[in-house]
A and B are shown apart, each in its own frame.
Chain A
Amino acid sequence: MAVKKIKTIYDVICPFCGTLCDDLEVDIDQTKNTVIEVRNGCQIGVKKYFSSNPSEHRFEKPLIKENGSHKEVSWDEAIDKAAEILVKAKRPLLYGFSSTECEAQSKGVELAELLRGILDNTASVCHGPSILAIQDVGAPTSTLGEYKNRADLVIFWGCNPVHAHPRHLGRYSEFVRGYFRRDGRNDRFIVVVDPRNTHTAQIADLFIQINPNEDYELINTIRALLRGVEIDEKEVSGVPIEDIKKLVEILKTCNFGVLFFGMGITQSLAHHRNIDTAICLVRELNDHTKFLLTPMRGHYNVSGANQVFAWNTGYPYSIDFSRGYPRYNPGEFSSVELLVKDQIDVSLIVASDPASNFPAAAVRNMYKHPLIAIEPHETPTSAFADIILPAAIAGIECEGTAYRMDNVPLRLRKVKEPPEGVLTDKEILEKLIEKVKEKMGA
């Protein structure tokens, strides 16, 4: 019997953002092993599926840099060279992991411990401050389904889901009909707090425009007003005190409120202290009504990276194994600080592109030392890498587990075969571990 040319796969989980939509339909051309169409996905998620199709940007063979240009080599040679560099390193950095599946992440932890290196994931440049705040004051949180069915007040603080998590609004937080919110959007009151009039702000019921970097003062004022304290000032963070009082009334009188926050407050001044005070606000609001909060995680499995690192080592990111046991201190062992201070001698980047996101000083120092990239595509990081180990794209070309932004684990699906000769992140890390063990034993 002839093979059916087009196969449709239903209920596919989208490996792009932390929303981890689980209702995609993907059409695959089985003869050519390519993605033809993706339905239900948002623009950015669909684009990722098409990026798995053959293109000049896709690596299909391991590459080693020689005299300034990349040369194709065998897997054995590439793994051997990479292991040799890693074993010789005194302070290797293993970074990335947020765009791959949990099984590969746990292999990363094993390799970092073996090498006594530094282990970090992308949380250190996005929601790391949220984690620091949670460690200080806890977090009243819930799953997204709960918000969908119950929340009648939704606050987006310092985030713009219309662009960054396009289907979040439709699936969980704004337009969707829930069990107790039968009328969808009309049953919810949406508040956006942001310095810019974003597209999310334009579809909100209330938009509060605050001065940049002054979130701490505003949340602090809301907390004081909530306690019945009169504020002497006329205006806080560019918001008139009457407007803040109205907001406090809205917060107190809702049935079920939720605060979604993004990098607008984790990466502006006061960083984790913004989240610290936001968590305290949510905790205090529970004296009046039901209120919860959830960070809007970016990479689809950055929550998973925190989970995997934490259950293996006790800490979610910025972990140093140099003394044989894990130690944790963002700011001391986080990748940006280490690179800026030039305290790294080898970097192994797994499924991430720090060269596009890190400060120039950090990237310059990263390029100075040997750089190994486990990466399917050409990126500013892999373009300068000394060794490129091409990987299958997790969630498209291999299975695995990923954690949604509310820490719900979901099983990613394989929709197509990876290009011939390409291994998964987990297999590559396993091979590296085996080779490193062999070299260290010798």
Chain B
Amino acid sequence: MAEIKLKLKKQPIFPLEADSITPDNFAGKNIDEIKGLIIYHGKEEEKIGDYFDVSGESSEINDLKIIIEGDLSNIKRIGEKMTSGEIIINGNVGMHVGNQMKGGKILINGNADDWAGAMLKGGELEITGDAGNYIGSAYRGFWQGMENGLIKVKGKVGHESMLWARSSKGAKKFPMLICGAADSLLGIHNHGGTIIVEGDVDRCAGADQAWGTIVIKGKVSRRLPSFKKMGETNEITLPNGDVIKGKFIEYSGDHAVSKETNGRLYIAA
């Protein structure tokens, strides 16, 4: 697998918008061409070479791996709309990482800021630290958020994760979020997304969920009153066919949306 290494030389004063750092843009380009790609600093257009040391060799997109080193917490939009290849980030990363990506893989060895994997259409996003608010969410005013793909977060995710997620059984699209813990309003307006939380969740999980599955293996600080207890279960079958074993209490909801609902919330018994 061909590798391109980027190393941050200096911290920008304002956030850099680096939506040009994707395997799609790097594929088939030599190092000088990659150095010349545009990134935005405030209102000024600057070049990747101004902020990064670039080394390695490019190749076909499917065979391309981009490795980025340094504290990128002030750098936004890495991997925006990427379709294939792989990005590995060793350090924290700024907002909108991997937003609207269609395929490929992003691995972040650190924390990610807000809007990571927003409106994901496919591919895989893995974060070993914590993630900010709105992970895998729909952008403002959109009614369709994450459509497909997988987001894995080892630590905690922020507020309103997986907002307006939408699955499609016919098209075999099952958006999924696996995280260590979550803040309030997890999976709000869920339309078929699957969320698995290994730890605790703050208030209002699954608010306005029309259908979908939320599995919480820890505690919920305040469950919404509009969820109704259905019974206990020892086995959960997820929409994509996977099975989770363990003792859970099954709730149906959100009944604020409709009296009969296929939405399910499982909380560890």
Interface residues of A (CB under 8 A from B): 90-91, 115-117, 132, 135-136, 216-217, 220-221, 223-224, 227-233, 236, 269-270, 273, 276-277, 280, 321-323, 328-332, 343, 345
Q: Which of A227, A269, A345 contacts B184, CB < 8 Å?
A: A269
- Please give, as numbers and ranges, the residues of chain A lying within 8 Å of B240 by CB-CB distance: none
- Please give, as numbers and ranges, the residues of chain B lying within 8 Å of A117 by CB-CB distance: 43
Q: Which of A227, A232, A322 contacts B225, CB < 8 Å?
A: A232
- Please give, as numbers and ranges, the residues of chain A lying within 8 Å of B14 by CB-CB distance: 90-91, 343, 345
Task: Give CA–CA (A392, B38) in the complex, Å.
Answer: 44
Closest 10 CB pairs of A and B: A223-B256, A224-B226, A116-B43, A135-B141, A90-B42, A91-B42, A229-B255, A322-B43, A224-B255, A221-B225
Q: Does B15 contact A (CB under 8 A)?
A: yes
Q: Does B172 contact A (CB under 8 A)?
A: no
- Please give, as numbers and ranges, the residues of chain B lying within 8 Å of A216 by CB-CB distance: 203-204, 207
A273 and B185 contacting across the interface, CB-CB below 8 Å: yes
Residue of B nearest to A281 (CB): B256
- Please give, as numbers and ranges, the residues of chain B lying within 8 Å of A231 by CB-CB distance: 225-226
B256 and A217 contacting across the interface, CB-CB below 8 Å: no
Known: A91-B14, A270-B184, A277-B208. A217 touches B225 (CB 8 A): yes
- Please give, as numbers and ranges, the residues of chain B lying within 8 Å of A329 by CB-CB distance: 139-140
Residue of B nearest to A92 (CB): B43
Task: Give CA–CA (A145, B225) in the complex, Å.
Answer: 37
The total of interchain contacts (Cβ-Cβ below 8 angstroms) comes to 97
Instruction: Report B76-102 CB contacts with A as 1/0, cut-off 8 Å.
Output: 000000000000000000010000000
Other than A91-B43, A132-B140, A216-B207, give 8 A-B pairs with Cβ distance below 8 A.
Answer: A117-B43, A135-B141, A136-B140, A227-B259, A232-B225, A270-B185, A273-B204, A276-B208
Distance between B72 CB and nearest chain A CB, rounded to angstroms: 15
- What are 14 A-B residue pairs whose CB atoms fall within 8 Å in the complex? A90-B13, A90-B41, A90-B42, A90-B44, A91-B14, A135-B141, A217-B222, A224-B256, A227-B259, A228-B259, A232-B229, A277-B208, A331-B133, A332-B95
**Interface size band for B:** 35 or more
Q: Does B258 contact A (CB under 8 A)?
A: yes
Q: Which of A135, A323, A343 contacts B40, CB < 8 Å?
A: A323
Distance between A287 CB and nearest chain B CB, rounded to angstroms: 12
A322 and B255 contacting across the interface, CB-CB below 8 Å: no
Q: Does B29 contact A (CB under 8 A)?
A: no
Distance between B113 CB and nearest chain A CB, rounded to angstroms: 10
Which residues of B in the span 213-238 have a Cβ within 8 Å of any Cβ on A? 222, 224-226, 228-229
Task: Give CA–CA (A233, B41) in the complex, Å.
Answer: 53
Residue of A nearest to B204 (CB): A216
Known: A90-B13, A224-B226, A328-B140. A229 touches B259 (CB 8 A): yes
B226 and A322 contacting across the interface, CB-CB below 8 Å: no
- Please give, as numbers and ranges, the residues of chain A lying within 8 Å of B189 by CB-CB distance: 136
Task: Give CA–CA (A231, B185) in the complex, Å.
Answer: 20
- Please give, as numbers and ranges, the residues of chain A lying within 8 Å of B177 by CB-CB distance: none
Task: Give CA–CA (A136, B145) in the complex, Å.
Answer: 12
Interface residues of B (CB under 8 A from A): 13-15, 17, 40-44, 95, 114-115, 133, 139-141, 143, 160, 184-185, 188-189, 203-204, 207-208, 222, 224-226, 228-229, 254-256, 258-259
- Please give, as numbers and ranges, the residues of chain A lying within 8 Å of B140 by CB-CB distance: 132, 135-136, 328-330
Distance between A141 CB and nearest chain B CB, rounded to angstroms: 17
A220 and B207 contacting across the interface, CB-CB below 8 Å: yes
B254 and A220 contacting across the interface, CB-CB below 8 Å: yes
Residue of B nearest to A241 (CB): B225
- Please give, as numbers and ranges, the residues of chain A lying within 8 Å of B258 by CB-CB distance: 227
Distance between B144 CB and nearest chain A CB, rounded to angstroms: 12
B256 and A220 contacting across the interface, CB-CB below 8 Å: yes
Task: Give CA–CA (A332, B139) in the complex, Å.
Answer: 12
Residue of A nearest to B259 (CB): A227
Residue of A nearest to B202 (CB): A269
- Please give, as numbers and ranges, the residues of chain A lying within 8 Å of B13 by CB-CB distance: 90, 345
Task: Give CA–CA (A221, B254) in the complex, Å.
Answer: 10
Distance between B33 CB and nearest chain A CB, rounded to angstroms: 22
- Please give, as numbers and ranges, the residues of chain B lying within 8 Å of A220 by CB-CB distance: 204, 207, 224-226, 254, 256
- Please give, as numbers and ranges, the residues of chain B lying within 8 Å of A343 by CB-CB distance: 14-15
Distance between B97 CB and nearest chain A CB, rounded to angstroms: 13
Task: Give CA–CA (A117, B259) in the complex, Å.
Answer: 48
Distance between B157 CB and nearest chain A CB, rounded to angstroms: 15
- Please give, as numbers and ranges, the residues of chain A lying within 8 Å of B43 by CB-CB distance: 90-91, 115-117, 321-323
- Please give, as numbers and ranges, the residues of chain B lying within 8 Å of A321 by CB-CB distance: 43
B40 and A221 contacting across the interface, CB-CB below 8 Å: no
- Please give, as numbers and ranges, the residues of chain B lying within 8 Å of A232 by CB-CB distance: 225, 228-229
A223 and B188 contacting across the interface, CB-CB below 8 Å: no
- Please give, as numbers and ranges, the residues of chain B lying within 8 Å of A135 by CB-CB distance: 140-141
Distance between A219 CB and nearest chain B CB, rounded to angstroms: 8
- Please give, as numbers and ranges, the residues of chain B lying within 8 Å of A331 by CB-CB distance: 114, 133
- Please give, as numbers and ranges, the residues of chain A lying within 8 Å of B228 by CB-CB distance: 229-230, 232
A277 and B225 contacting across the interface, CB-CB below 8 Å: no
Distance between A151 CB and nearest chain B CB, rounded to angstroms: 25
Q: Which of A221, A273, A323 contacts B226, CB < 8 Å?
A: A221
- Please give, as numbers and ranges, the residues of chain B lying within 8 Å of A233 by CB-CB distance: 225
Task: Give CA–CA (A245, B185) in the complex, Å.
Answer: 25
Task: Give CA–CA (A345, B44) in the complex, Å.
Answer: 14
- Please give, as numbers and ranges, the residues of chain A lying within 8 Å of B256 by CB-CB distance: 220-221, 223-224, 227, 277, 280
Residue of A nearest to B229 (CB): A232
A229 and B226 contacting across the interface, CB-CB below 8 Å: yes
- Please give, as numbers and ranges, the residues of chain B lying within 8 Å of A228 by CB-CB distance: 259
Task: Give CA–CA (A189, B84) in the complex, Å.
Answer: 61
Distance between A102 CB and nearest chain B CB, rounded to angstroms: 24
Task: Give CA–CA (A233, B222) in the complex, Å.
Answer: 12
- Please give, as numbers and ranges, the residues of chain B lying within 8 Å of A91 by CB-CB distance: 14, 42-43
Distance between A341 CB and nearest chain B CB, rounded to angstroms: 8
Q: Which of A227, A230, A233, A321 has the most CB of B within 10 A?
A: A227
- Please give, as numbers and ranges, the residues of chain A lying within 8 Å of B185 by CB-CB distance: 270, 273
Residue of A nearest to B256 (CB): A223
Task: Give CA–CA (A285, B208) in the complex, Å.
Answer: 16
- Please give, as numbers and ranges, the residues of chain A lying within 8 Å of B40 by CB-CB distance: 322-323
